[in-house]
Amino acid sequence: LDLDTLALGPDDTVLVYSDSRSLGDAELDALFAFAEAGGHLVLRLPPWQGKTPDTALADWLPIAPLLQVPGCMALDLPGQKAREVFCRDARFRLQQGADVSHVWRNAAGQAVYARFVHGEGSVDLVSSLDLLQNNRLSEPGHAHFARQLLAPHWGEGTLHLVYAADM
């Protein structure tokens, strides 16, 4: 990932579709500096492989370092049949006092999505971005969720989709 060639601005959004573990410390530092300056950053958790620590993201965001067991979350939208999503994806726990503007979690406090306030900008953490795949955006609720992910700078700046950060 060559962030120098992106010329990121404070009204831009960077969505890193690939596994967050593919980002090095220098890349994470640059991405979080971008968010702190007003940008919007969207990251996903690593795929579920057991209770493995995700130290890179836990060092950057106020989340517990151990991922939580996958389990379905209900997606209920007015006028649509309820459906379950994130069934095979890890969950995470927020640290006490985490500064979030949005969070989607179950009654046990296990989250699949959170928007963290980060300086002048924001960082979204999502269990998975599979709902954004072309063949899934037409499923009920998926486009709505995609719109929520992109909301902070909707209609402003540039959306940078980083499909594979390790190239």
Q: Each residue of 41-89: pLDDT tens digit?
A: 999 988 887 766 666 788 899 998 888 889 898 888 788 787 888 999 9
Q: How deeply is 120 buried, as exposed, middle or buried, from its count of CB atoms within 10 A (0-12, 13-18, 19+)?
A: exposed
In this prediction, residues 118-130 reach a mean pLDDT of 94
In this prediction, residues 138-153 reach a mean pLDDT of 82
- Position 167 confidence tier, pLDDT thresholds 50, 70, 90: very low
Predicted confidence (pLDDT) at residue 21 exceeds the cutoff of 70:
yes
**Which distant-in-sequence residues (6+ apart) come within 8 Å of 108 by Cβ?**
none
* Cα 34 to Cα 17, 28, 38, distances in angstroms: 17, 10, 7
Q: What are phi and psi of 35, to 5 degrees?
A: -65, -40
pLDDT of residue 137: 77
pLDDT of residue 4: 72
* Cα 167 to Cα 14, 35, 51, 78, 126, distances in angstroms: 16, 22, 27, 41, 22
In this prediction, residues 83-110 reach a mean pLDDT of 91
In eight-state DSSP terms, residue 23 is S
